[in-house]
Structure 1
Amino acid sequence: MLAGLLTIVAAFAITRQYASDVPADPDRPYFAADGTAHFLDGAQDLKESDPAGALDLLRQALVVSPLNVDALVNTASIKAQSGGTAEVDAIYRHVRDLTNRNLTTLYHDLDGYIRNNDQKATIRTATLILNIIVGPDNSLNTYIPLRAALIDHLVSLSGEADNADLIVAGLQRRPLWRGSFLTALAQKGPGTAFPDLADRLGDVPPAGSAWQAYLQRLIGSGQSRAAFATWASLLPADAMERLGYLNNGDFEDPALLPPFGWQIKGTSGADIAFDTSTSASGATSLEVTFVAPAEFQNVQQVLILDPGAYQVSGKVRMSELKGARGVQWQLVCVSGSALTPNGSSAAFLGSSDWSDFSFPVVIPEAGCDYQLLQLVVPARIRSELELRGKIWFDDLKIGRSP
């Protein structure tokens, strides 16, 4: 990753179009001053074919406008190609004195800090570059590889306490790249870097993409019980007493977030909603309206069930639900990448008022790290995906079998 970042930084550092794309202090000379534009354009044209001629034009531009950052940066860029390290460094120091927002200068600095393993200076400079290139318009598409590389490099440095202090200080200013960094840290940060940093920030929302990414990372790496404990610690204090084998089975408790609360994914084939106009009890039910053929596994919850026998039960209502195979609840055992069906309800089709349903499941001693309860269209071939109509669920429960 380090080599990749150095390559990206170098590529940006020698590209003229980024030398003056970020305004500095308006009281300082920055863009091409009157009388220098033709020198700069000519130098750009000669840069590859005649570097000496380009340098001569840039010298003439600096006679007209000695503080012209465009001319200085392009001079440094050309000289860097012939190995004039000391002179190049001196030019960049001069540019830095004029403005600390010149990207080419910052790329040059960052390249040196990374090569010298100066992690604190790397963090400060990478943060400054990100603050410049990530704007309200999500910046220019050209910067996307650089932005991703910088964020990934900050993530890789976040495990050390001193580095984390600098990163937290930058994030507390709520930069526009904060969300992208937190999600990347949750997905691939070292050790417990993400929860530790989130705890220090104190305002990373449990429902946000970063915490959800971290919980999914724990589950995917075989730490489903640690994920559950972490998830439970994020809940309001009064929510703990409402936890069970299945959470929010009455669809009344939005505080019980995914993945150990309901995870609902949108699909073009169905409209999924919490319906407050009809319910078997309480105020809310789950409503699914099927409108077009589509693979459907879009309502699910992660479960942590110990080995043994259980009964899954609930209430269902249907309105003109028509299709080849209907829809059903399935409980699936997950172990690594293996998914093993472990029980399912009867298929639901037709029309009915509220009625009860149930089905048994047995969780084995091995091969079932965690479980998924999911609502599915159990199609075997594509034509069996056809399903139209409405269905509601309420009062879902999982209990131990006697």
Structure 2
Amino acid sequence: MSEGWNAIRVIRCAGLLLVAGILAWRALVTNLADYYASQETPEAAVGALRWRGDQPAALYQRGMALTASEPAEAERLLRAAAWADPTDALTYLALADQWAKAGRQTAAVGLVEIADALGPLRSPALARSAEFWLGRERPDRALARWSMLLRTRPGTAAQLFPLLVQLAENPATQPLLQPLLADPPEWWDRFFAHAAAKATRPETAVFLYQNRNRHGALPVADEQRAYLDRLWKENRWLEAYLAWLNGLDERQTRTLGNVYNGSFETPITNAGFDWRVSAPRGATVETIETYGARGDKALHVSFNGERVRFQHVLQYLFLDAGRYRLQGRGRPDGLKAERGLRWRARCAGANTILAESEPFVGSDEWRSFAVDFAIPDQGCPAQLLRLELDGRVELDFEAQGGAWFDDLAIVRQD
């Protein structure tokens, strides 16, 4: 009896060893096939199929390699890949391309619709789907895939933004962008900056800016800056001024005037018709508290003795033709400079001086200044007001010390 049980145990152990061996062999074969397929080369795909004839990735790769030279064999391999892994969207897209080339358009569309349902977040599938729909004159579907690509793979912007600009440039395809304008995705501001800079016609930037639904909010600073920069480049001053004006909040609106924020109380944005301030080497520019200011702050410019052609506090103006008075208050504070600091007004883009203040140099208490000037009827649609270190030769631009300014204004005289 015991001998019988021993025989049974031996048989069972042998069977288990056989099953384990078979499973180990299958695992080895599968792993080797998967390894070769992961190399994604034509030679590796052939090697993977030698180990496992139904390895789906290898079938797909081999099929793609033969699409041009052996389309029938390529279709067979792609069909086999779909049977082996019916969840791979790329396989359906490759088959759809084969069928479309063979004139089976309806069947190809059906396959791409399956692929779209299977692989909405896979970048290669999204890109190939978009290419397919664009070739079938369905830019609406292509646009939906591009939008998902830009959300999941921001690096695709370099390829996709120019295509989106083409849609925005063409009045016939502009309506396709309305869903994005109504509810802008997270990548939209980056696209708008690209479009504003690169579009062939400025009207494209105008269309995108004016048709965006901001849900009652003001334009964000980067969006407005990109738009204004394009209008600036095209000398479309009225549109630029109105766009900037409509982007001001309640506090900023209270400082409007022919000179905006002439008391320097509102934070400077360096955009539009606000002050544009920078600090070159050798100079410091700030708006801070000081005695004698009418409000909480005044403009302070200081120099450390280095040579600097200072022209780094400026504001663009949008004034009608006519007679005006530039006025304000200044206080030189130990400023050593050969010819001092002056406020000057010019027509935008021109060198001719319309108005020039007295020079500020040395040390003094607060004092008022004023100068009358005229803006001509022609050739001066916008103007530039700028604080400049006056000079004719290089030594004139060596400056040390500082000066304060407050209550800048331009008053109409007629």
TM-score, with structure 1 as normaliser:
0.72
Alignment counterpart, residue 270 of structure 1, candidates 260, 268, 283: 283
SS at match of 1:352: coil
2:68 is equivalent to residue 78 of structure 1: no
What corresponds to 1:101 in structure 2? 121
Mapped to 2, the partners of 1:58 and 1:192 lie a distance apart of 55
**Structure 1 segment 263-302 matched on structure 2, within 5 A:** 263-291=276-304, 292-302=306-316
In the alignment of these two chains, the number of paired residues is 344
Mapped to 2, the partners of 1:282 and 1:113 lie a distance apart of 62
SS at match of 2:231: helix
Please list the CA deviations of residues 336-375 of structure 1 after superposition, one character each: whole Å capped at 9, or x if unmatched.
x545332222332222221222333221121112001112
SS at match of 1:183: helix
What corresponds to 1:123 in structure 2? 143
* Higher alpha-carbon deviation: 362-371 or 386-395: 386-395
Structure 1 residue ranges (4+ consecutive) displaced by more than 6 angstroms after TM superposition: none
Alignment counterpart, residue 325 of structure 2, candidates 311, 323, 332: 311
Mapped to 1, the partners of 2:180 and 2:51 lie a distance apart of 40
Alignment counterpart, residue 133 of structure 1, candidates 149, 153, 160: 153
SS at match of 1:105: helix
Relative distance call for 1:228 and 1:317 in structure 2 (3 A) is same
Relative distance call for 1:227 and 1:253 in structure 2 (3 A) is same
Please list the CA deviations of residues 147-195 of structure 1 after superposition, one character each: whole Å capped at 9, or x if unmatched.
1331232233246553223323662xx52x2321232344446163233
8 Å CA contact 1:311–1:401 kept in 2: the answer is: yes
What corresponds to 1:352 in structure 2? 364
What corresponds to 1:386 in structure 2? 398
8 Å CA contact 1:269–1:294 kept in 2: the answer is: yes
2:373 is equivalent to residue 361 of structure 1: yes
Mapped to 2, the partners of 1:81 and 1:280 lie a distance apart of 79
What corresponds to 1:156 in structure 2? 166
Mapped to 1, the partners of 2:247 and 2:233 lie a distance apart of 19
CA drift of 1:95 comes to 6.8
What corresponds to 2:47 in structure 1? 57
Counterpart of 2:157, as a letter, is R
8 Å CA contact 2:36–2:45 kept in 1: the answer is: no
Q: Which has the larger radius of gyration?
A: 2
8 Å CA contact 2:301–2:403 kept in 1: the answer is: yes
Alignment counterpart, residue 222 of structure 2, candidates 199, 205, 209: 209
Alignment RMSD: 3.5
Relative distance call for 1:380 and 1:206 in structure 2 (3 A) is farther
Relative distance call for 1:184 and 1:116 in structure 2 (3 A) is same
Relative distance call for 1:363 and 1:63 in structure 2 (3 A) is same
Counterpart of 1:89, as a letter, is A
Relative distance call for 1:264 and 1:55 in structure 2 (3 A) is same
Mapped to 2, the partners of 1:151 and 1:117 lie a distance apart of 19
Q: Which runs of 5+ in 1 are unaligned?
A: 1-32, 45-50, 135-142
**Structure 1 segment 149-228 matched on structure 2, within 5 A:** 149-158=159-168, 160=173, 162-168=175-181, 171=184, 174-175=185-186, 177-187=187-197, 188=199, 190=204, 192-198=206-212, 200-202=213-215, 205-206=218-219, 208-228=221-241
Counterpart of 2:167, as a letter, is L
Which has the larger share of helix? Answer: 2
Relative distance call for 1:120 and 1:317 in structure 2 (3 A) is same
What corresponds to 1:259 in structure 2? 272
Counterpart of 2:145, as a letter, is T
Counterpart of 1:390, as a letter, is G
8 Å CA contact 2:45–2:59 kept in 1: the answer is: no
* Higher alpha-carbon deviation: 55-64 or 146-155: 55-64
What corresponds to 1:243 in structure 2? 256
Please list the CA deviations of residues 178-215 of structure 1 after superposition, one character each: whole Å capped at 9, or x if unmatched.
321232344446163233333x1336644511112212
SS at match of 2:402: strand
Please list the CA deviations of residues 12-58 of structure 1 after superposition, one character each: whole Å capped at 9, or x if unmatched.
xxxxxxxxxxxxxxxxxxxxx944464146553xxxxxx4x344135
Counterpart of 2:332, as a letter, is M
SS at match of 2:383: strand
8 Å CA contact 2:196–2:205 kept in 1: the answer is: no
Mapped to 2, the partners of 1:317 and 1:253 lie a distance apart of 21
Alignment counterpart, residue 407 of structure 2, candidates 386, 390, 395: 395
Structure with bigger RCO (C-alpha 8 Å, 6+ apart): 1
